[in-house]
Structure 1
């Protein structure tokens, strides 16, 4: 089996509709009537300032935060697998946890101390190979660089093969080699028809790789193709506008 074959099976990601989604925590307005659509099988980037609500919007999509408004996933067939790659991994670096141990804990129901199950061993090996971490499977997670840990997080997001993949700043800790790995993966996902929702601060990467871009600063300030969205005027508005004070009257 080639490395590309599992991706070829993961076709037809869902479309996602956000309709007047709002979120208030305490007396703080986090999201204000957010409405836009993510097309099926597209790479859709979410950009905006820190504190603008990007990660909170992702958490509403994952069912981790209460919200008003409507949020719907339109699967082309039966509901599929949702993969998630967080921005960073917080753990005790003194733990004697190897890369294989971490992958076992994240990807299988069998307790990690029993080792990799035969059912998942092949998929885990393939995922680590695709992110360039196959030769470091026995290394302790705490001994890896930040970029290497981010590659391992990318690998766990591939198991089982997702039809919807949510990425929270996956490039933030990657070195140049890791960025190249990520960009190859993103092209693979595009070709496989996987829907990708991607929070990213690297606007040059977004311009090159995304199909569509939504600018979010509590509310949607633009939603367009990268060429239309990432203009100096629109970016200035996105990163300097404060749509509403943080507290509610």
Structure 2
């Protein structure tokens, strides 16, 4: 997540317990199922009756309706206006996606997250009021590429295009050495923020005398160029 998205996530109300998802393809179904399993009330919408029936059968949402979300009157009748956050998961149909997003914002939905399939699609979605745009396929592609080339990187938080916070499995080269011995800041230009301890908890700002063990996890902050210099 980049800092450009930070304002959107800050606006989300922590007490929000209701989400609506429009479009029940693979991405939409995954969002529905995850939110529902986390205990949130989820309204699922699609114009394909089979997808709607499957959502009800598989119990991936609290409610599911068959309707055309490009029709503003149909949207009004669905009860979606009671939901603060709506996910538009129909990114493969550009015109439909833009129309639905525009309708939602004109109806006063506070937070609209929309799936995009291209940079142009993203710009159009933002023009009609989308609060946040996601690229699930592109993000998954980047994740797979990262896992293949940097298998020790568990997770990565992109601060901006050049800098990140990375959760990294301690390599064999660091095994048995103290943080002071490794001189991570001097040799790699990175700040070590935390070291995994017992019971899956992290030690924040660990002492320089802390001994690292292979297979455990460290969290570092720095430029992507410096992070890529860490040993595999």
Using structure 2 for the length normalisation, give the TM-score: 0.31
**The structure with more radius of gyration:** 2
Higher helix share goes to which structure? Answer: 2
Using structure 1 for the length normalisation, give the TM-score: 0.30
